[in-house]
Structure formats: structure tokens, C-alpha cells
Amino acid sequence: MLLSTRRRALVAGALALLFVIPLPVLSETKIAEPLSMQVAKRGDEKVTQTIETDHFSVTFSEQGARILEFKNKDKAYPRRDGANIVIPGTEIFLAPYLGATGTAQYVGGNLGAMMYAAFSFSKEETQDTVKIKASAPVVLVADKNKIDATFIKEFVFLKRSPYFKFSVEIQSNSSVKLQNLMLYALPMIGPKPENQGNFRDYHHYTDQGKVEFAYAGGGGGFGCGGSTTSEKISKGPTDFFGSSSRFLILNMQPLFATRSASITPEQRNADTKQLLQAQALHVNMGDIIVEKSKPARFEFIGYMGPKFDENTFPNDDARKVMPDLGKFNKNYFSKSFDFGITEPIRDIIVSALTLLYKLIPNYGVGIILIALLLKLAFFPLNQKQAEAMKRMGELQPKIKELNEKYKNNPQEKQRRMMELYKVHKVNPVSGCLPMLIQLPVFIAMYSAFSDAYDLWKSPFIPGWIPDLSQPDHVFSLPATWPYVGGFAVHLLPVVMTLSQYFQTKLTPTSGDENQRKIMLLMPFMMLFLFYAMPSGVVLYWTVQNALSIAQQVYTNKKNAKAAVKA
């Protein structure tokens, strides 16, 4: 009885202490926030894995699971079959890494670690697809803690369509928070043109619903902002991005909400001008929590191929095999081609060129025929322009007289000029109007004959013009010559310049001698502008000059006969 009483007293005392003395509260475990990454070993670039589809072959390297070759396959155009869009030194890495600030900066070689890490491959094929899965063990470092993780890159290619799906998956042995998870998405793509002056390469990305462009190398021609010299960062999520060369484009669309995108400019050696780092696009995928039992996965849909309007949205068969392709934004896709505001006219010209090729299988002949058809279409306008210039030339003595007589009275001089034009039924602006009307066509023509996929590697005259997308090449000066050694001699621009000079000589002017001298210098300025342009563009301009000469000879004879009758 006494023992039982003592036990009850001890239990009561213990319960009293339990409520009086508070127990320590277990703190919530803080999720690790790694700042750097380490990989087990560097991959061997020579260990590769290749897949084949109807539209391209892709070769991956064990080192970084980078794409070493992305070859365009085109049986319809054998000369373009096997063209590689990967420029040496600018492989397609699609490397995930931890960023420092949400831009393209990185800490502790995080990007370098993933670019050169050793990845192991697995390959799966079905009737419609081929899948490549590449994985690499990674150590995430957070203070003194090291957390084992696995980074997986997965590519699924359609066998009969130029579309694919790309995924990044991150698995971790412990829950971690990855801040500013970046994707080194795309460098500049090729194929690299033989002529350095013909670069028209750019990155594109969406920023607040608008497609933005960042040009590399020599800029982008008409209406383009030139090369990017400093980092560009989008102000919000990036819903679409890609990289483009003159004829091919690589587009990707995230299937999740990104944070932003940034473009890092190319870097060159200050002394040798050698390219050290190509312009590249990075995507900020945001702050991500990876749970031990729940990997983080990010998916993209993509396209690689020619800039054809019919490819801006996957067909029914492709979407049936890969339903996510139905999410491709056709509007962004089309705008990424960047053919300018004259694109509708350009498309008509390219369609006409394709139609003529079916009749006469030579695109050079097609360009000549298009030049002839356009000259016929604009003949009435050009005739009005010539007649207006002729009448203005006849009025020059009277205009000069008014300038002298009323040089101190501008208002009266202007009034008298208007009366003179009215009496003689002359509109001083009418000479410029036909040119303004034709200007959009000329701009569209430049785009059509310089960036059209159809002209790529297409010959006109073998031995002289083997590729209408490149300048003609007669010979190069010996490399040993000082200053001009290795200079490429192009004949077609010289022919174009001489034809334009002869046309200018035949064309009547307003009578101002200084103006005439300037006009005679213009052809030689055009030689400088057109010297390195694609031969398809120069051919069109040369034919236009020849037809203008014929028209001017006809007009001059017509005017001479009219003067005799008068």
C-alpha cells in the first residue's frame, strides 16, 4: 500500500514538472539552397550517339550530351542534303546550370561543369519516334553540405516530321531549392556561309508578347539593328525562342512558365579578332524546389528546318504522335522568320520563282524572267517618270530665271514656281512617285533573292555562278600580295555597275550639273554596296539595269521624233 502511494506521488510530480518546465521545440528543417555544382568526371567528346529521321540526323557527344551535328536532310535538293547547322565551336549544349543573378552569369563554373560533364546514353525507338536519354550524376554544394543529384536530358524526335521534344529532369537525394535555374539554350546556328559578308544570323525571343531580335556578326540588312554588343535581358517570361541563319531556323517553345531570357554577345580577341564565344541565348527557368520523391521536369517542343510558312504549325500526323505540338504558337513561329514588313510581297515572288523553276529548272533564268515581268508591269509608271523628268528639264531655264529674280523674296518665288508648274502641267513630285511605289517591291526582292531557301546552293552558270545565294567568284588574288592578298574578284557586280552607269548617262536630268555628277557617281557607290551580296540579288539588279537601258533608248527616240514633228 505504501509502495503504491509512493508511485502515485512520483507520477504526479513528473506530470507537474512536464507542465511547468517547457520541452525544447524541434525546429523545421531548412531546405538546402546550393550555389555551386560539381560533376564526377569530364566526358569524352569522341564518344557519340547518332539518331536518324527523314528530316535530319543528330549526333550527340558524351561530353555534356551536346549536339555535335544537326544535319539537314533534303532529298529534294541534293546539294543541301547533309548541311550541318552546328558551327564548329558553337555546339548545341542545352545545358542546365545554376545562375547567380537570374541573368546569364554563373557561379563556380556551374555552366562549365554541365557543358563538359560525362553523360550516359540510352536509346529507344518506336514506329514513329526515336528517343535519346542522357543522364549525369551531379553534386550540389550548399555551404558544407553535398547533395547527390542526377541531371537528365531527353530528346524525342519524330521520324517523319521536323519537330522534336526536349526535356530537362532533375532528381535529388534530398530536398533542395535551386535558385535561378538557367538553361544555356542556343548558340548561333549555321550553316556558316562561305562569304563572311553574308551573315544574317540572329536570336529571337518573346518579351511581353512581342518577338525581339538580336543580330550577330554583320547585322541583318534592311531595317535591322545590327549586332548585339551588350547583354540583352527580357522584362518578363519568354514563351518562345530560337536561333536562325539565312535559310534554316531552330525554334523552341517552353511548356511551362519561364522567368526571363537573356542574350550574351559574342566575344572576340581584341588583337586577332578571333571568335572566343559565340552570341548565345540563356533561359531563366526560375527558382525550383526539387523534392526527394518528386523530380523537377521542364519540357520544350521544338522545330529545326527551312523557313517555310507551311512548317509554322505541325500537321495532323505529327500532332497525333506528339499531342503537345498542338501548342506551338503559329504567330510567334511565323514572326521569327523576320522577313520584314514586305513579307507578303516576298512570298509572292518566291512562289513565282518556284513556279518558273518547274517550267525551266534554273533559278537564275527564273530571276531574269521575274525581272522582265516586273519591268513590264511597271512600264507605264516608269514612262510617266521619264516624261515628268523630261518636262522638268525643259523648264529649268525658266526655273533658274525665277530663282535669280526672286532670290530675296522666297514667298513670291514659291508662288511663281507653282504658277509655272500649273501652266505647263508639271508636278515636281511625279518623278519620285513611281520610285516610291516600287520601293517595297525592291526590298521584298532583296529578301527573296538573298534568303530564299530555294536559292541555297542553286547554280546559274556552272563555273561562274555555282550558288545564287553567294557572290560569284572569278578568282582570288594571291595571298602573298601585300594589302590585297586573298581578295576575291567578283565579276557580276562590275557588270551591274557598268550597266547602271550607262543607264544613268542615258537618263535626262533636271539640268543641274552638280546633280548630274552625283548621279554618275551613284553606280560606283552601288558597286561598294553590292560587291559581296548574293549573286541572285546582283543578277536581278543587272537585268533591271539592262531593261531600263532598253526602255530609256525607246523613250529618247520617241521624244526625238515628237520634237521633229513639233
3-state per-residue secondary structure call for 122-166 = EEEECCCEEEEEEEEEEEEEECCEEEEEEEEEEEEEECCCCEEEE
Do 183 and 89 fall into the same domain?
yes
- Report the distance separating Cα 372 and Cα 356, nearest Å: 13
Same domain, 121 and 254: yes
Q: 465 and 334 in one domain?
A: no
What's the domain range around 110?
36-338
Q: Is residue 416 part of a domain?
A: no
Q: Is residue 30 part of a domain?
A: no
Helix and strand counts by DSSP (H, E) for the chain: 12, 25
Report how far residue 505's alpha carbon sits from residue 411's, in angstroms, rounded to the nearest whole number. Answer: 35
Asked, for residue 13, whether it belongs to a domain, the answer is no
Q: How many CB atoms lie within 10 A of CB 1?
A: 5
CA distance 114 to 89: 16
d(CA 472, CA 470): 6
Q: Is residue 402 part of a domain?
A: no
Least Cα distance to 55 among 79, 71, 78 occurs for 71
Distance CA 195, CA 190 (A): 13
Distance CA 336, CA 231 (A): 20
324 and 353, same domain (yes or no): no
pLDDT for the residue 483 = 73
Question: Which of 292, 310, 338 is at the close of a domain?
Answer: 338
Query: Could you tell me if 291 and 368 lie in one domain?
Result: no
Residue ending a domain, among 308, 338, 368, is 338
Tens of pLDDT along the chain (566 residues) come to 444 555 555 545 544 444 444 444 434 467 889 988 999 899 999 999 999 999 999 999 999 999 999 998 888 888 888 889 998 888 999 999 998 654 445 555 899 899 999 999 999 999 999 999 999 999 999 888 899 999 999 999 999 999 999 999 999 999 999 999 999 999 989 887 665 555 578 999 999 999 999 988 645 444 444 445 678 889 999 999 999 988 999 999 999 999 999 998 888 787 877 777 888 999 999 999 999 888 999 999 999 999 988 889 999 999 999 999 999 999 999 999 988 888 889 999 999 999 999 999 999 999 999 999 988 988 887 777 777 777 777 777 787 788 788 878 888 888 888 887 787 777 766 666 667 777 888 888 888 888 889 999 899 998 899 999 889 988 877 777 777 667 788 999 999 999 988 888 887 665 566 667 777 888 888 888 888 889 999 999 999 999 988 888 887 787 677 656 65
Q: Which of 292, 318, 338 is the last residue of a domain?
A: 338
The answer as to whether 27 is a domain residue is no
65 domain-assigned: yes
How many percent of the chain have pLDDT more than 70?
85
Number of domains in the chain: 2
The enclosing domain of 256 has a CATH number of 2.70.98.90
- 14 φψ region: left (φ > 0), alpha (ψ -120 to 50), beta (else): alpha
User: Alpha helices of 65-154 — where are they, by DSSP H?
Assistant: 110-116
Q: Is 385 helix (H, G, I), strand (E, B) or coil?
A: helix
Q: What is the pLDDT of residue 509?
A: 62
Same domain? For 378 and 460 the reply is yes
Tell me if 124 is assigned to some domain. Answer: yes
DSSP summary character for residue 291: B
Same domain flag for 332 and 260: yes
Count CA atoms closer than 13 A to 396's CA, side-chain side.
Answer: 13
Q: What is the phi-psi region of residue 443: left when phi exceeds 0, alpha when psi lies from -120 to 50, beta otherwise?
A: alpha
Distance CA 173, CA 149 (A): 6
**Residues 172 and 315 reside in one and the same domain:** yes
Q: Are residues 87 and 71 in the same domain?
A: yes
Do 137 and 158 lie in one domain? The reply is yes
Distance CA(469)–CA(47), nearest Å, equals: 36
Q: Are residues 145 and 238 in the same domain?
A: yes
403 located within any domain: no
Are 379 and 232 in the same domain? no
Half-sphere exposure of 305 (CA within 13 A, CB side): 21
Identify the pLDDT of residue 3.
47
Taking the model in full, what pTM does it have? 0.82
Euclidean distance between the first and the last CA atom of the chain, given in angstroms as a whole number: 151
